[in-house]
Structure 1
Amino acid sequence: MKYLGADTAFYIMMKAREFDVKVDPEGMDRESDAVDDGCQEILEDYPDDATEDELHEALANLNADQLHELVALVWLGRGSYSKEEWKEALQEAKEADPTAKSSPEYLMGTPLLSDYLEEGLSMMDVSLEEFEVGRL
């Protein structure tokens, strides 16, 4: 990856993971133990929850080159391309959205975004452990 730093990619992956696990509060089981109630609130997606905004802002702050690399990473992670096909994946990302204006919405609408990013980063030999050690 030439433009997208590992720290930025992992930050977006973590924000995507937080976003991916959100559920409609109406669908939560209220018959649980009182001990579980605090944990459930973290997963519930309320209108004032900033998780979606934080992910969107992180994506919107990337330039076109960074977004193209992020999209290509997602495609690697979902199995559409191999590591050896990185240049092709990157070229396809550029052709699909040359200015990368719709890439943030595309990425936010991708189911399993965080999983695909994690797998794509792993395929590019970028370890989550290195990121976590640097943050501790």
Structure 2
Amino acid sequence: MELSVPLETVCRLIVRARELEAQVPMNDTEDDSEDPTDSDDPMAVLEDEANVAVEEEVRTLLEDLAEDEIAEVLALAWVGRGTYEASEWDEALEEAAGDEANPVEDLFEMPMLAAYLDAGLAAFDLSCEGIGQID
């Protein structure tokens, strides 16, 4: 199996998806104007609204892919999730290419997208090790 989507792109998507998944939703407080840095809770700084820049970058990375590339990313995620085995790649790719839903939204809404993509790459003996600053 050879990907048409560059491995570097998949790896960047994994890194950004991890950042997006790591965000902790902010707890509702009685005083919404309270600055989290003024809180007595040292972990309050981690609780923030979704980082819009990371969310936009993930969405842009996905939307900028060609149709065959987005189908490959979706099929990789499905293999990583266990929906398909690596030996069923052609079926997964065919299903992803014919997906009537919006594949960008399907990927964007996967709760463990980074892990699924990483596992999907591993199923084909691919990894992000040595790609840019990704280790």
Using the size of structure 2 for normalisation, the TM-score is 0.80
Which structure shows the higher helix fraction? Answer: 1
Aligned to 1:107: 107
Code of the residue aligned with 1:113 in structure 2: it is: L
The count of aligned residue pairs is 125
Report deviation, 1:128: 2.3
Higher Rg of the two aligned structures: 2
Report deviation, 1:94: 1.1
Superposition pairs for residues 14-53 of structure 1, below 5 Å?
A: 14-26=15-27, 31-33=40-42, 36=43, 38=45, 40=46, 44-46=48-50, 49-53=52-56
CA RMSD of aligned residues (A): 2.4
Q: Does the 8 A contact of 2:8 with 2:128 survive in 1?
A: no
Match of 2:79 among 53, 76, 81: 76
Separation in 1, partners of 2:125, 2:6 = 13
Report deviation, 1:73: 0.2
Change (3 A) 1:78 1:26: same
Structure 2: tracts of 5 or more residues without a match: 30-35
Match of 2:98 among 70, 95, 98: 95
Q: Does the 8 A contact of 2:59 with 2:104 survive in 1?
A: yes
Code of the residue aligned with 1:135 in structure 2: it is: Q
Structure 1: tracts of 5 or more residues without a match: none
Q: Could you tell me the percent identity over the aligned residues? A: 31
Instruction: For residues 25-44 of structure 1, give each alpha carbon's deviation from its aligned partner in whole angstroms, at most 9, with x where no partner exists.
Output: 226995433xx555x15xx2
Aligned to 1:128: 128
Change (3 A) 1:53 1:85: same
Superposition pairs for residues 62-73 of structure 1, below 5 Å?
A: 62-73=65-76
Secondary structure of 2:65's match? coil
